[in-house]
Each structure stands twice: as structure tokens, then as C-alpha cells.
Amino acid sequence: MTDSDQNPEAARWHYHPQGPVALNPLFNWPPRPSAVLRWYGGAWLQITSLTLCMGLAATVYVLFFPGLETMKTFQPGWMFRIWLLNMMPQILVAGGLHWWLYMRKGQGMYKKFDRRNLTRDNGTFTFRNQVWDNIWWTLGSAMTVATIYQWGIYWAMANGYVPTVTWSAAPVWFVIWMSLIPMWSGLHFYWVHRLEHHPKLYKHVHAVHHRNVNIGPWSGISNHWFENLLYFTTYFIHLIVPSHPIHLLFHAYFQQVSPVLSHSGFEKLKAGETEAARAGDFFHQLHHRYFECNYGTSEIPFDKWFGTYHDGSAEATTRTRAYKKQMYT
Ligand SMILES: [Zn+2]
Ligand SMILES: [Zn+2]
């Protein structure tokens, strides 16, 4: 029997991961410690969006970050630099992946979820072109809002208006808070994203992100202005929870650069004949194809708890389509 006999959903994709889409086993009952270790090992011990963002934050902090003491007043020098520190990694990672996967076709169709190419000459998109549309909403809208929020938070940190920590004063908290940031981001994302799927907000705002049924690296944070105003409020946690600037740097890259990988459309990146890195996320790819499912991430299984989990099966597609119909009638 072939995979498509067992699961008719497989016929709808070029590549379809076997079995139900994985969720973080940390929330399973009874506890499965070895599965939890494998899950976190898979996220932190190879090239993934997490390790890439951590590496980026550390490198940027050591080499390019303007000291907090310079940020006590709003000055064009450091503000411009913060904008550049957002723009450059975004352009390098999204541009590099787009070039390698979609222009150079460096790994052909290997582990590409969708059969189709990205869309050209289609009036749904700004400039009638999916890639130019996505570049505009990412570098124009998302980078601007993200940068303005970061300016405010760094300025508040520099002036001691919010609680901060240093490595030497609280090394344990420093590490714990860093490792909790992805979980906070997932929690915040789920609720903001659910709100954006309210039919009114969807039609006027979130539809910009969902123009991309078939996604590519530049689709990651290709969002309407208003969506970005909500999406990047995740950074305001640093106004409450004692943080170091590098916590915000990591949070920023996790929020901005990791969606580039998760929207890349390919599950793995190949270097030569070996799989070098984890990239695309079938969990979210399903959200782009079927809309009213998988609003969160696989990190905290809110979708499972609230009945909107699409596990990649044909039954889940039928259920999601029925739910969507009922939402819009
Ligand atoms: Zn959505
Ligand atoms: Zn998306």
C-alpha cells in the first residue's frame, strides 16, 4: 500500500510527513521524559530556527549592538543601527533562502510540501507578484513596527524605567528566561492569531498574510500594518519581566527570522546529500492551506486543547472545512 492509499491527504501535497504532525510532548499525560528530551534535543542540538536565532543574537550583541548607555535619549545613531540590525539578518536569511530554494532551486523539490511555484502575475498580490508583495510587507511594514517597539524598550531599559538583569547578578534567571522566550512567544502568538481570525479582522487585516496559500521564505512576517502592531506587542513582556538587552535581541530574531524558516515551504534544508537543517513547519503550512486550524505553534498545544488541531490527516481537513463554512455563514 502506498502512503496515499492510507491517507488521502498525502495526494494533496508533494511531500507530506508521515504520521500525525508532532506536538510538544511536555504537555502529555502520563509524562514521557524521553520524548521530551528528544523534542528539546531536536530543537537545540542541530541547526533549527531556535539555534540560528540564538547564534544571531549572540553575534549581533558582541559585534554590533550599541551599548545601553548610549540609548538613554532618542538619538538617530543608535536608532538607525537597531533598524539595520533588524533589516540585515531578515534580508540575508529570507533573501538567501529564497534564492537557494526558489531561484537556484538548489535542492529541487526535496521535502517541498506544495507542488506549486510561488505566484506571479496575480492581482491578489501587491505589485501582482507574490515575492515583491511579501518583501514589501516584511521590510516596509513589519521591520518598521518591530524597530519602533524595540526603540521604546531599549530606551526604557537604559533609563532604568523597567527591571533589567545582568549575567553576573543572576546567571540562572538569565538562562531560564532565555529558554522560556519561545514558549511565551507561542502563547502570545496563539491568542493574537485567534483574534485575527475573527471574520472582520481577517477580511481587513490578516488576509494580507493569507494571500499566501502556498508559502515561501518572504511570507514569514508578510503582515498588514495593523497585524504587526498586535504581533510585535509580544516584546512588551520585557517591560515587566526582568530582562537583559540580549533577551530582547533573541526574542526579536525569534519573532522575525524564525518565521522565514517555518514558511520556507521545505521541511529540511539539504547540503550536498545530507539534511543540514530543519526549516519548514508542516503544522503552520496546514494553517495556510486550510485557514481555520493550527492557529498556534506545536510548542504549546493550544489547538489540541481547543479542538482546532489539524494533524495532517484527510479527516482533519474535512473537519476544518466544515468549521470554516460554519464560521462564515
Ligand atoms: Zn492565520
Ligand atoms: Zn503564516
Residue 324 falls within a domain, yes or no?
no
Find the 168 Cα to ligand 1 centroid distance in Å. Answer: 41
Domain that holds residue 249: 45-280
pLDDT higher than threshold 70 for residue 287 = yes
Task: Specify whether the CB–CB gap between 177 and 166 falls below 8 A.
Answer: no
pLDDT, one tens digit per residue, over 149-198 is: 999 999 999 999 999 999 999 999 999 999 999 999 999 999 999 999 99
Residue range 289-311: mean pLDDT, rounded? 95
Find the 197 Cα to ligand 1 centroid distance in Å. Answer: 6
Find the 279 Cα to ligand 2 centroid distance in Å. Answer: 14
Of the listed ligands, the closest to the CA of 198 is 1
Find the 38 Cα to ligand 2 centroid distance in Å. Answer: 26
pLDDT band for position 8 (cuts 50, 70, 90): confident
Find the 19 Cα to ligand 2 centroid distance in Å. Answer: 22
Find the 310 Cα to ligand 1 centroid distance in Å. Answer: 14
Residue 187 falls within a domain, yes or no?
yes
pLDDT, one tens digit per residue, over 254-264 is: 999 999 999 99
Domain total for the chain? 1
Distance CA 39, CA 49 (A): 14
How much is the pLDDT for 329?
Answer: 82
Task: Specify whether the CB–CB gap between 9 and 312 falls below 8 A.
Answer: yes
Find the 254 Cα to ligand 2 centroid distance in Å. Answer: 14
pLDDT higher than threshold 80 for residue 6 = no
pLDDT band for position 327 (cuts 50, 70, 90): confident
Find the 255 Cα to ligand 2 centroid distance in Å. Answer: 12
Residue 32 falls within a domain, yes or no?
no
Residue 319 falls within a domain, yes or no?
no
**What distance, in Å, lies between the first and last C-alpha atoms of the chain?**
39
- pTM equals 0.95
Find the 242 Cα to ligand 1 centroid distance in Å. Answer: 31
Find the 269 Cα to ligand 1 centroid distance in Å. Answer: 25
pLDDT higher than threshold 80 for residue 5 = no
pLDDT higher than threshold 50 for residue 148 = yes
How much is the pLDDT for 1?
Answer: 45
Mean residue pLDDT across the chain: 95
Residue 128 falls within a domain, yes or no?
yes
Residue 294 falls within a domain, yes or no?
no
Q: Where are the alpha helices (DSSP H) in the chain?
A: 3-6, 33-44, 49-63, 76-98, 130-135, 143-158, 171-196, 199-201, 207-210, 225-231, 245-256, 258-262, 282-290, 302-305, 314-327
Find the 196 Cα to ligand 1 centroid distance in Å. Answer: 7
Residue 87 falls within a domain, yes or no?
yes
Distance CA 9, CA 17 (A): 11
pLDDT, one tens digit per residue, over 127-136 is: 999 999 999 9
Q: Where are the alpha helices (DSSP H) in 263-301?
A: 282-290
Residue 185 falls within a domain, yes or no?
yes
Burial class of residue 214 in the structure, from the number of CB atoms within 10 Å of its CB (0-12 exposed, 13-18 middle, 19+ buried): middle
